[in-house]
Each structure stands twice: as structure tokens, then as C-alpha cells.
Structure 1
Amino acid sequence: MEYYGDRLCISMRDLVAGGIMSEPNYKQLAARGRFDVVRKGRGQGCYALVAVDSLPQRYQDKVKEVYPDGAQARLEGWIKSNYEIDQQATVFFFSKEKCGVALPREKAQEYITNASVLNTCIKLYERAATAQKLFGGKYDWGMMTATIEILRKHFGHTLPASTLRFRKKVNDYKANGYACLISGKFGNQSARKVDYKTERLILGIAVQPNKPWNTNVLELYNSFVTGEFDVFDPDTGELFNPDDFTDKNGEPMVLSEATICNYLNKPKNRALIDHRLMTPITFMHEVMPHMHRHHGEFSLSKVSFDDRDLPRKLKDTRIRPKAYYAYDVTSGCCIGYAYNRTKNVDLVVDMFRNMFRLLDRQGWGCPAEVEVENHLMSQWRDSFLRAGVMFPFVRFCAPMNSQEKHAEQFNGAKKRSIEHRNHVGIGKFFAKSRQYRTESNKVFDEFNNTYVEKEYYTWDELIADDMRDIYEYNHALHPNQKKYKGMTRWDVLVANINPTLQPLDKATIARYVGERVGTTIRRNSYCRVAGEDWWLSKTEAIELLSPNDYKVEAYYLTDEEGKVTDMFIYQGDMYIDRLENIGTYNTARAEQTEADERIFVEQRKKISQFNKYVEDNAIGRVGVIERDTRSQTIEVEEVIVPEPETRETQDYGLSEDYAARALQDL
């Protein structure tokens, strides 16, 4: 007997040879279609196969008698065809959140197989018609022994072979589900030598401020459980009881060094220990998860700022100059820089000025977003660096989180790739690479903290070197050559300017990072600033001034040489006007140039505009006369009226002289 497809079959020659039916009988029944011939005989090696379940019942009974092993084959075939891997069990056993414990992969696979086998057996039990067809009568649990072993042979489950124990496992599985298949040694606290309470005690000892070694933790724990030391909770003052840490015999739970090491080095415990023992900065940079990012596609979409100390020292003060840089994040270009002997506000302001000069000179817009640190930038959080005032988006990075600022990465790239190649003594004393490690010779004096520097430099030398390094860094190949093949950082910056940038608001720039001086509007036309006269752009600007107040604050921008380029005036927080430096002209006609003639014309235009403003808003005259407020007497001509007859009213019985009343009213 054999399977053809999913059906148990017997060959025609086995039917005849076994005496189940004769060959003529076979041919007659086949012709009448009394059974299914699933495969016809076609010559040598290809014999006819008949489906056993399609034979008449009396022939099926003879097949069982003649070929008793066929029933076993039939059972195996049914079991194999109905076995399915339980996908829900796969999700359950591979998920720590669902099953409550992190199972090894081989154990999870074993429990998935056991669950799938139980599902198959339960399906067999519930399908009574199939069971009767297989076993020829009432379902008998004794027959399940063969099924269990067949499934063990084909799928390798670890369920009990005993029928009674198997029945118990089936009932437990129906009642409790997948959890009943997990061994007690997984997630069972009572089976552990170190339970949860003991583990937390070990961890509490391990996070002492002196950062004890594992051997010290073992000594302290064993001393505690044997009564030599007391352990208490520093928050509540509660003493731990050594009697709570005993084995099943009441003896102190003494642990080995290997057990201590295993529990202290579990990944979960390692993270908790590091959180208590490391400084917040170290924990953030070495243990905490970090954000995964990628740069934008357009230049000036985001600019990152950061300060640094130049790596070499000054000859006069033995300190390192302070620098502040602005980097375009997409290209990595340094687009602004400034230097100072101390890290102060002037350093930041000079950096902004330098950056805006470059943007104005190149005709680029205002960066869409800036990424700044908290130390020096926080003073402008509610003014210049409030989103929407100068930049549409502003991000203040978390304090001490250097990995968040892109500028930190660019500072490192500039130092490693350019400065280390161009200068001596660039690196770190703790660097792993020998080429990047710096060394200093210690002077053993009474202070014991003096080191001999190989060389000191002047201010001009250090600043000039750094400016050359910035230029070389900007014009070096972009690190992402796969995307920007053959392009330098500067090429990437210029070629990918964000087309949606807003134009530079020079009035706002001048107010917050420009030079400031108080001045007065004179003759309704100009202000004197830095020894020069700056004209109002139009006479209408005086309408914005406060009553009886011509004093204003002038804010101006300068170029690299210190020459004033843009001048704006404010009165308090009110923007008044942008001033123009027309210049002066030579009054000697014989010496006048074209420039003098142009200046003369421009000044006459300003005066003409003022005259037109005055004429357009001229005040019309009105006549004024004094009002006569003296009292006047009205003369009334006397009129003689004949005295009327007195008449008595019928309604009220009263009499009234109406003529006399009229005279009185006059």
C-alpha cells in the first residue's frame, strides 16, 4: 500500500495476489466505476492504483485483514496531512511580552511543535466520524499511543508518551493555553537560586558610590547574610533582614563569584548599574539609545553652530583662543566664524555678522533653520532666536549633548582631516590611535600640574592658520563622494541652495547683531552717525516718531573692513526707516566731478520730496472771531387787547382768562 497524492492506495496486483478479488472481478468493478482508479497501469513499472477508501466496505475489510500494516499507514497519512504549524504559538513563544519570559530559540521551537501536535490530536478527537472510520468503532484513548509516537517520529515533539499523562496535558492545554507548555525553570522565581529580591540586593550593593568590583560585591553580600554587616535602604532607613535571604533549609544563601558576575553582567542589569554609577553625560553618550538621522538635500535648510578652543596656545597668556563656527549641515561647509580670547557674547555676535556678510555677498537667502546650544545663545531665546523672528525654525540642543549638534561632528572632521595634517601637536592625549595621540612633558614642581608645551604662537599666527584651514576644509572633497562625485563641500553648498529661502531681513539683523549708536533726526531729513550724514529714505518716516521726540537708535552693518553698509533707525521697538548715505558734493564748480553732480542731484531730490510733502499736507487757514456772550433784552410792543368775558366751564366749574395767560407767556 502507498499514498498517491493525499489518498491511501493499493495496487491492482496486490488486490489480486492477496485474494481480495479476482482479476475479472477487478475489471468488472472498475468498468462499472465501483471504485476510484487514481492511476492507470501503463506498461512496466507503472501499475494501476486504487483508492482504498473508495472500495466497497467488504473489500475494505478484507484489505485490513490481508494487509494489517495498511491501517498504520493510513493513520500516519491522515496525521501528516492534518498537521499544521500553529502560527499563533509562534508569535507567543517568540515574544517575551506575550509569554512573560525570553525563551531560547530551540526551546521556543520545541514548544511550537508541541502546541501544533496537541492541536492535531484534539482535531482527531473531535472528529468522531473520522475516528470511527479509522479505528472501526468508538474512540479509544488507548489508540492515541500510536498517534503520539507517529507524531514524535515525524515532528520530534517532547510530549509524554503515557496515555494518561498525555490526556492530562491535553486537558491542561485546553484550560490554560500555550503557557502550560513552558517549563518551570523558565520565569519561575521559586526555581531560581537567586530570586528577584536577592537580585535587587546584589544590584543595590553594586551601585555604591565607590563603584565596587565584583569580588567586593560578593564579600559584602556574604558578610550581610552571615550577620557580619547590616544593609539598609538609604531612602527609608529600613534595615534588610538576613533571614529573608536563606535557602530551603534555612541556611544563609551564600553565592559564588560566578553567580555574582552573571547577574551583574546581565544586559538589563548592566544598563541599570551604569545609570546609577555613570555621570549623566557619560551615560547619555555610551549607554542611552541615540537618534538615527540623515542630512537634508538642500543647502542652508539647516545651519548648526558651536564653539571650540583652538588646539594650540597663545604665547602671551598661555591660553587657547576661542572660536565660534557656523556650518551648513548638508554640505558641511563652514559659512561663519569668529575668534576671541574669552567665550563671551561678542564672540557669538561676531560669528553671526561674519555669516550674514557671506550670505549677503553671495546673494543667498536666510537659513531656514538654525541649531544652537544653550550656553551663549539662550539670551536670545525670546528675541532674535525665537522661531519666526529671524529664522523660521530654531532648535536649542540639549545641554551637554554634543552628539546632537551637527557642528560637533564637523569640528571633529576639520580637526582630523585638515588641522592634523597642517600643524604639529594636533590630537588628544587619550586618543587610541598613536598618530592622533599628543604627549606632554610634566614639570615636577611644587604645584605638580605644570606641563611643558612644545611651542607657543601669537594671536595673528593662530587666527591666520585657522582661517586658511577653514578655506582648505571648505574646498576639500565632500565626504559623500558616492552621491557628490568629484564635488567639494563648497561646490555642494553652491549647487544645492534651498529655493524656498526667505530674503535676508537686514533691519532685524542690524538690530540684534549690528553696531548701535544713539542719534537725532536733524532738520527732518538726516542723522549723523560715525561722522557722516545719513538721509531718511522719505519724509513720511517722521510720521512714526513719538511726539516731541527726535531721538532714535541707529543700528548698522559693516563689511570685513569695518565700512558701514546698511543703516537702520529705531525708536524703542518701533522700526522707523532705512537711511541712505548720499555723500557731500564740492561747491567749487571748477572742481566738481560726475560724482559731485550725482550727489547734488540726489540731495535736491530729497529736498524736493520734502517740499512736496509739505505742500501736499499744507494746513489751510481759518477765520477766527470772538463770540459775544453778553445778555440781550428783547423789547416787546405793548398791545391793547379788550378784556374778554369770563366764562364758567361746564365740566369743572372753573373760569380762566386765556388772553391774560397769553400776555404772560410773551
Structure 2
Amino acid sequence: MPAYAYIDGVPALTVNDWCESGLTLDMFKNDSKRGYLTILRRGVRGETVIDARSIRRADRLRVIERVMGRVPREEHRALYTVDTDREAEAFFAAYEKADGGRLSEETVRQLTAKASIFNALGDGLRRQTERRAASGSKLRKGAYWQTMLQWHTEECRRSAETYGVAVPEYTNARSLERAFRAYMAEGYASLLPRNMGNDAARKVSRRAENLIVALWRTNDKPFAARVHELYMEFAAGDTELFDRATGEVFRPEDYRYKGRPQEVSCSTIRRYLKNVLNETAVYADRNGQFDYANSQRPKHVRHNGRFALSKISMDDAVLSRKSTRGWVAKYLCVDVVSGYWFRPAYTVGTPTLDTVMEAFRNVFCELTELGLPMPAELEVEHHLMQNIEWLPEAFQFVRFCSSPTEKRAEHNIRSLKWGTSKKQGH
């Protein structure tokens, strides 16, 4: 009697086993064509492997089980499985508050446990959604959030034994849903208390930080030690500072703590100056706009894609030869990774919204004709695309470029113009 083979833990049988059970090859072909079974691996001479659990016709399954025995069912898995999130632990352990302090060990353990529980809830939601979709139904969110709240409450009540720290509970399903969605959207930072790191705990106030950054952005490009020296002289009343634009003279009394200059070390000054937001804000003033545009723009730190159709870019270009009716322009779309050019849309004169729609139509027609999926990200210019409301519905990500130099289509147009087109004499 033939026995089930296991492929990655899934019980399977070959077409030969199917025929030996009393079924015919035509039955297998018809069931496969109509989606009544799933093929795990193609083969020749009857060695095609079938997923035994995927056989949907009861009459076929009875014949097979009469010869090969009952098909082993999938073992029941717990709805939620909690695993300690080491990345969350590293994030909270390295988190630095505005005053330069770190989170306590107990707070790190509590936030790590909270993140691990949310990860388990997210994995359970994903698996349930996939199972419902496979069966042709949808998950009822109202009942689901109540079930999630019950499980979360039980997990929090035994968190002191499991994680060594108590995790706070949520009083209702709506609060849990808001916190869970914020965690899915913002990540670990959403779990930090909202009042953590506010001005009450800052060594340097917002106003003092802005003054320090203003001292640092002068044309002589001072070092952090010089900025610290100037700030302490101003706080002590030995140096007068004023706003160049308005003429306002700054009062040292506004930058003191309880009537005396607040002692700020040079390392604290350097930490505020090297903050990503502050350093980026003053980089152009210290080093020039050219250096900023060619080294600090987001386009200089992005990575190339790995898969075709992960990102497409659209732009217009003017042909090198003028027609009798005027200059001919084309609006085209290119796949960033593969460099594939979709069929462009041509027009005489400046491209309009109708030209853009024709270019989109060409893209969608080619995708359908070639059997390709929808691109994940669309990169476009702002002035022609800003009024197209359906772009966020068609593409997962839509990027409106802030400058022409960061648009990938510009790079491809330049390489096409000075490469293939120039070699062909265009």
C-alpha cells in the first residue's frame, strides 16, 4: 500500500499513487485545471507531487483514503505566539532622551515586552486574514478586537512572571486598537510615553537650542568648543547677541535657570549640534548650497531597487528634431531597476494632462499584455500629477519629486540621449 510522502511538512502523493488508488489520469487533469487540488512540484512519468490536504472533491478523497489511509490533518497552532523582540530591546536600550539620559532597565524590559506582545498580535491578525481570504470570507473586525483584548489582558496579567515586569492593560478594545495601529505605523517609538523627553527634562531648552544652532551657522564655521564659549559668555552677560534680521537684542535672563547661567558642557553642546535635524538645517549656511545639494539631499543616501517594477518613474522630453508644426515632446515611463521603457505618448508643444493620461494608458496596456503586476511605487513631477486623485489608489507609494535632479526618469533620459540616441545619429 503506498504511503504519503512529506514535502516541507506537507503530506503529498504522486500522480502514480493517484492512479494506483483507482482514479484516472483524466480525473487528475480535470481537477488540476479547475483548481480542485494543488500541485507542489511538477514531474514526468507520473512523478508530479500533489498536496494531499488540498484535494477538495470528497469523492476523490474517499477513494484515496481507502487505499492510502486518512490524510494527516494540519496540527493546531496557537493563535498568538510571543517571542521576545531583540530589536526592540536594543532600540529602547540605546534610546536617548532629550536631556541626554537613558531609559531605566525596568522601562526597557516593560517596553520590550509590550512590543513583543504587539508583534504576536500582528502575526495572529495576518494569519487569520490569510486563512479567511483563502476560504473566501472576511475577518469580522468587531469580534476580533474583543478576542484580541481578552488575550492581551490575560498576557498582561501574567507578564510579571513571564517577562519580569508588569505590562499595563487596556480598558477597552478601542484603546487597544488605536495603540496597535499606531505601533504598526510608527514602530517602537509609538510605545514611548508622550511626556518623555519634554522641555521639563531638557538640559537645554528649545530657545537655548535654537540660539546654539544660530551661533553655529555663522560664516566663519566655528567648532563646537567655540560655540560653547560664545554661549557661556552670553549667558553670563559678557557678550551681546542680536537677531540680524529683526535687530532684536537677546536677553541673557531668558536663558538662565533660577537666576544663574545654566552649566552646559561642551559635549552637550556638541550633541545638540550633531543632531540630524540641526546639522541638516545649517549645513547649507556653513558649507554652501552647492555642497548641500550634492551631498546632503535624500537622493544621495537612497539605495537602488532589487526587483523590476518596484519603482517606475515618469517625465517628459523634447525630441532633438523640430517638425513643421513645432517641437515634438514625448511623455514616457521607465522601470528604474530593469531600465525598460514603456511606450511613450507624443504631442506637439508642451505636454498636458491628456498626454499624461495617454502615457498611463500605455503603461497599463503593456502591463496587461505582458502579464506583469502593478508597480509598487510611482515617481512623478508635481505640476502635472497633483490633480490626479486615483494615483494613491493605483500605486502603493507615490513620490512627488521636490527637484528634477532626484527623478530617476531624468537620469534614464540623459543616458538614452547621450548613449543609444547619439550613436544612432539622433
Do the two structures share a fold, i.e. TM-score over 0.5?
no
Q: Which structure has the larger Rg?
A: 1
TM-score (norm 2): 0.37
**Bigger helix fraction:** 2
Kindly indicate whether structure 1 or structure 2 has the higher relative contact order, using CA contacts under 8 Å at least 6 residues apart: 2
TM-score (norm 1): 0.25
